[in-house]
Structure 1
Amino acid sequence: MFKTLPIAILIASLTWLAPSAVHAEETYPDNEGIVSSVIDTDSYTYMELENGDKKFWIAAPSTKVAKGDHIRFVENMRMRNFTSKALNRTFYEVIFVTSTQVKVKQ
């Protein structure tokens, strides 16, 4: 009994601490995300964004961005199974955007 009591207390304390120990990924409005990768071509900048547990690609007119930037964008259209000839790559889905803005950290 004495050997199992400390284990039971440990399990109970871990269960009690778990919600505060693990923070949920931050989510933003649908037209925002954090840049996780960037690919530049002559006319477009492709950005993989993360928003909470979602990852998605956007394509914007050539833009200076860096990994970790918080981006807000204006959506123009979504294309599925889009093949970029410049990259010789097919994206499951790309959101083409008319403009992007890097949000300044406060």
Structure 2
Amino acid sequence: MKHSFLPVFLLMSGLLFYPLSSALGSHHEETTAVAAGKQYPNNEGKVVDVMDTTGYTYMQLENGDRLFWIAAPTTHVKLGDHIKFVESMSMENFTSKTLNRTFRRIIFVSSTMIKK
């Protein structure tokens, strides 16, 4: 009878620690990808285009193979800067009358930070 509990105990121990080890592995892969410059977290990107208007800075960001636009309160950025942002809302087919341009999708952000 003592021996029949050992396999059950080992199975339960393995199930208990499996999610922890797989989560640690995923974090390592994400950190490695970010460090290699392949892809940032979803709320970050590299500035590839910038346009300033009264009260707003429009930035096109690159994140891995994605390109997307954000609009932030006036921000002093340069091409190549790594930006982290806090999303407020996103809009489809937004027309900026100041720029006389329609963005297929744009993310309005409440704040940005240039990461070093």
Q: Could you tell me the TM-score, scaled by structure 1's length?
A: 0.75
How far apart in 2 are the matches of 1:72 and 1:95? 13
Give 2:23's aligned residue: none
Question: Hey, which bits of structure 1, 4+ residues long, moved more than 2 A?
Answer: none
Identical residues among aligned pairs (%): 64
Q: Unmatched 5+ residue regions in structure 2? A: 1-35
Code of the aligned partner of 2:88: N
Give 1:65's aligned residue: 77
Asked if 1:37 is matched to 2:49, the reply is yes
> Structure 1 residue 45: deviation in Å?
0.1
Give 1:79's aligned residue: 91
Counterpart secondary structure, 1:92: strand
Counterpart secondary structure, 1:30: coil
How many residues are aligned here? 81
CA contact (8 A) 1:76 1:95 kept: yes
CA contact (8 A) 1:72 1:102 kept: yes
Higher relative contact order (CA 8 A, sep 6+): 1
CA contact (8 A) 1:74 1:97 kept: yes
> Structure 1 residue 25: deviation in Å?
6.0
Bigger Rg, structure 1 or 2: 2
Cα-to-partner distance string for 1:52-88 (whole Å, 9 max, x where unaligned): 0000000000000000000000000000000001000
Give 2:110's aligned residue: 98
Q: Could you tell me the TM-score, scaled by structure 2's length?
A: 0.68
How far apart in 1 are the matches of 2:58 and 2:64? 19
